[in-house]
Amino acid sequence: MKHVRQSERTSRPEQPVEVQMATDAQIDQGRGAFRNAVNASPPLATGTAPPFSEASVVRPSHGHDADVASLKQPFEKAFRANPRHPATNVDLPFNAEEMSSAVVLDAIPLPVFFKNRDGIHLGCNRAFESFSGRSKGDIIGKTVFDLVPAPIAETYAALDEALFANGGVQQYEAKATTENGGVVDLLLSKTAITDIAGNRIGLVGAMLDITERKRAEHDLKEALEFAEGIIAAIPDVLFEVNADGRYLQVWARNQEILAQRKEVLLGKLVRDVLPPDQADIAMLALEEADETGASYGRCVRIALPNGESRWFELSVARRPSSNHSTVTFLVLSRDITERKHAEGTTIEARARLLSVLQTIPDMVWLKDVTGKYLLCNHAFEELVGKAEAEIVGKTDYDLFTPELAQFFRDKDEEAMQAGRILINEERFTAHEDGRSTLLETRKVPVFTGGKLMGILGVARDITELDTSRKKIHQMAFYDSLTGLPNRTLFNERLREMIGDAASAGQRAGVMLIDMDHFKAINDTMGHPVGDELLRQVATRMKKGVRASDTVARLGGDEFAVLLPNVQDNDDLAQIASRMLAAFGERFMLSDREIFVSCSIGISVFPNDGDAPDDLVKYADSAMYLAKRSGRGNFRFYSKDLTIGAEKRLALESDLRLALKHEQLELHYQPKVLLDNGKVIGSEALLRWHHPKMGMIPPGEFIGVAEETGLIIDLGRWVLHEACCTAAVMNADGLPPHKIAINLSPKQFQCPRLSQTVADVLQETGCRAEWIEVEITESLLLHNCEGVSTTLSQLHASGISIAIDDFGTGYSSLSYLANFPIDTLKIDRSFINRSDKRSRELVKAILSIARCLGQNVVAEGVETVDQEKFLAESGCAVAQGFYYSKPIPKSELLAANAVLEFSRGDSHLTPMPAEEGVALMRLPPASVGTRTA
């Protein structure tokens, strides 16, 4: 058939017109029959061109048409030079210009071919060779019937004839099998080539691989169909808007819930459609989505065209786009009108129910199954001491102690598991006034549709009914935190132990244990952590004793151990050592390692006493001795402890009387300028003239005053006396004389210290600049906010601040930067030593003070050499026995009066001359140890 078709095409020019007309009619008739047969048949197998009618395969294609049309230009000259060749064998006329055209064709990446009017291939480019898997020699001179199966060739030949008949550009899609067996989608574009006379003498075609485009179109179509299916399935409305709130697209299954018809909405702004207040809400959602990527939960109320008003919840997301310059948002608008109505109905019903509940004197509350409070009445609010807003959403663990909360939870679960009402008694202690209330509680499981939803509680105060049972409840002998016997049970067992030991002639021991620095743990890590530490301590202590021993918690961080039937003190020492060893191991608290020590005091029956209270008191004295001895150890009681304790107690009592009976006195040690000997101030030092014991040094009674709290009253007295002296010393235009006053760290624990100082200054008429406050480095060690605030307040009032004994405590340069320090007092220990290292340290302190603009006072100067070294090192002020011992106020005022008088009578001017209070230096024989 192929040869017949080729013969028909090649012999037509020599046939008469009548024969040609008859032949054309036959060809057209056969071609039409072929097309009908092909179109009626099923699709061809993969790798063959599909059956196309001319209508289905000839498609206009913008852009590619022009490319194909331009391809024919290089060939028209060749076709015109040899328009039609009558023979089957084709001679290819190529010259230099045509060879250049061939080179251009080979450079084109698309497969390109061209044929003459008879369908014979005259040429192709390399891309076509590569695609077809044939060489150019195998293609040129062949027709499509020579290259592909006949059915496919007939289709292509018919399309070529249509192109020759109609002209223009012809496009159609086809599938083809590549050389490696793969199937590709092609877009074929062909255009006719004409001679000078305009006769169509051939065609040129190009093929474009559109496999990926077809696949992308298929995927896109599936995605669009899927998205459209989702939009059609959901009852919500979906909008696309830009950042200005302009509607770009609207998808809605139900058009009736739109504020306006879709075609009206498009292009409008949200503010043009919604009321201003609702539009503001919608725009806020867009702004939030623009910042965070999404916005949820905002609700707007929209008036619909039918006059109905409905609520919609907006979910907004910024739409992903490769075009970062254009930002749009997808807004899902969900109709929540019914939910709003239900919420309103629920709120209304709840309000009615609560109005009834508020009138009930009994306590009523409702919890969900997890224990969270849902509602309560006023009576329950009064019981808990919190408003309903502070209770709802919380659990018992948020409102009560852990033990009480757990008890409540257990009872709740018991009622829910039983599925019926349970009645029990619960004791509740109010936090505000500590009032304990006994409640008779009814707990009722709440079911909805057969499902457990929560627990309803109703409680009634039956405290008055419980009066007869108070004694029983007072017999609670165990500590709730640690599970150890409490003080009540301890005292009872102590009496039993002493009675048993006396009857059996045995020895017994009483051990008091106090944790060291427990308050610091509570303050820094919190009381829950402190409670956990106490629990762990209790567990270790129980493991460290015998089965017959009793470990009790007396309160706070104080524990006690009863040790019956001990042979000697070695038994007690071994148990105490085990206790200390147990404390030596780390405690894990809140994922942190904590190390805590303890101090232990031991008393022995009957050696130390036979009365329960005495044994406890003696063990307590021994325990405090252990603390004073460095903590982390144990001590046995001895009678010397009682004597010492009695002495301290007597000293405390006498000290209280000393304030009333004016047994206290201030002495003053002058401060001298080294360059000229002028006295510029003095330090106030406390003295106690005891009527029986004589002069008592401060070291013996200041500690007692601090322990007993007397330091507050004592400190105020010292402050008042020193300010009175400063007011006299600086009166009537006398040279400035600053009085230094030592303040105890205990005084800084008083929050009104700065106000007390201000009151004293006002009472005495003393000016702030006449006073200097001396503090120790230990005060700055803790650097608590209260100390820093008080120092700043004192400094702001005009009082200067000095650090006493600088360099001997917890020295830190950060003190000098963080606190308002005016003066550093170099400790006497550095002055009295003449070794090089001590003197270099003095120089370093002086250098630091100069850089920070601070004054320096050298304490304890006793020799000429010391004065000379300090002067040469740049120290400006000193005090010590080399200049004067501390002297009473009367002597200080007398010296000041002499100097004042001497200004008018030069023959009485003492050393040194000119301004300033001058005190005669003591002779070397009188130089001694400084008495502070």
Highest mean pLDDT among 21-30, 209-218, 222-231, 781-790 belongs to 209-218
Both structure tokens of 883? 């200049």
**Predicted confidence (pLDDT) per residue in 171-186, tens digit:** 988 888 776 778 889 9
In this predicted structure, the answer to whether residue 4 has a pLDDT above a threshold of 80 is no
pLDDT for 819 beyond 80: yes
Per residue in 693-729, pLDDT (tens digit) is 888 888 778 877 877 778 888 889 999 999 999 999 9
pLDDT in tens, 528-570: 999 999 999 999 999 888 889 999 999 889 999 999 998 888 8
Q: What is the H or E stretch that residue 611 is in?
A: none
Tell me how many degrees the CA angle 840-846-850 measures, rounded to the nearest 5. Answer: 145
Residue 513 bridge partners (DSSP): 559, 600
Q: How far apart are CA 912 and CA 303, in angstroms?
A: 100
The pair of three-digit structure tokens given for residue 571, joined into one six-digit string: 């038994």
Strands (E), 53-182: 112-116, 121-124, 169-177
Contact 437, 425 (CB under 8 A): no
- pLDDT over threshold 60, residue 507: yes
**Cα 689 to Cα 662: distance, rounded to the nearest angstrom:** 9
Facing residues of 445 across strands?
455
The per-residue pLDDT for 693 is 84
Q: What is the pLDDT of residue 100?
A: 65
Contact 583, 598 (CB under 8 A): yes
Alpha-carbon distance 867 to 858, whole Å?
A: 9
Model confidence band, residue 251 (pLDDT cutoffs 50, 70, 90): confident
> What local confidence, expressed as pLDDT, does residue 41 receive?
31
Strands (E), 285-406: 294-303, 309-318, 328-335, 363-368, 373-376
- What are 378's two structure tokens? 């006023």
Average pLDDT over residues 880-886: 92
Residue 812 is predicted with a pLDDT of 66
pLDDT score of 107 more than 50: yes
* CB 690 within 8 Å of CB 650: no
Q: What is the per-residue pLDDT across 674-687, written as a single tens digit (0 to 9) for each?
A: 998 889 999 999 99
Q: Residue 749 — pLDDT band, cuts 50, 70, 90?
A: confident
pLDDT of residue 27: 38
CB atoms within 10 A of CB 518: 18
pLDDT at 431 over 50: yes
pLDDT at 162: 92
Q: What is the model's pLDDT at position 646?
A: 66
C-alpha angle 495/497/503, rounded to 5°? 105
Task: Give residue 521's pLDDT.
Answer: 84
- Per-residue pLDDT tens for 608-662? 888 999 999 989 988 888 887 778 888 888 877 666 666 777 777 888 888 788 8
341-379 pLDDT, tens digit per residue, is: 888 887 887 778 778 878 888 889 999 999 999 988 888
- Give the pLDDT confidence score for residue 324 in this predicted structure: 67
Task: Render pLDDT for 453-469 as a digit per residue (tens, 0 to 9).
Answer: 999 999 988 888 777 66
Per-residue pLDDT at 782: 59
96: pLDDT confidence band, cut at 50, 70 and 90? low
Spatial separation of the C-alpha atoms in residues 130 and 820, rounded to whole Å: 92
pLDDT, position 612: 92
Question: Does the pLDDT value for residue 129 go beyond 70?
Answer: yes
> Measured between alpha carbons, how far is 552 from 574 in angstroms, rounded to an integer?
19
Indicate whether 848 pLDDT > 50.
yes
- Please give the pLDDT value at position 276: 93
Tokens encoding 409:
């939870």
Q: Does the pLDDT of residue 87 top 50, yes or no?
A: no
pLDDT score at 360: 83
pTM above 0.85, yes or no: no
Q: Which of 49-63, 572-586, 668-682 has the lowest mean pLDDT?
A: 49-63
Is pLDDT of 745 > 60? yes
Q: pLDDT, tens digit, for every residue of 274-285?
A: 999 999 999 999
Mean pLDDT for the chain overall: 80
Average the pLDDT over 832-841 and give the result.
87
> Would you state the pLDDT for residue 653?
81
The CA angle 79-81-85, to the nearest 5 degrees, is 70
pLDDT in tens, 259-313: 888 888 899 999 999 999 999 999 999 999 989 989 999 999 998 888 888 999 9
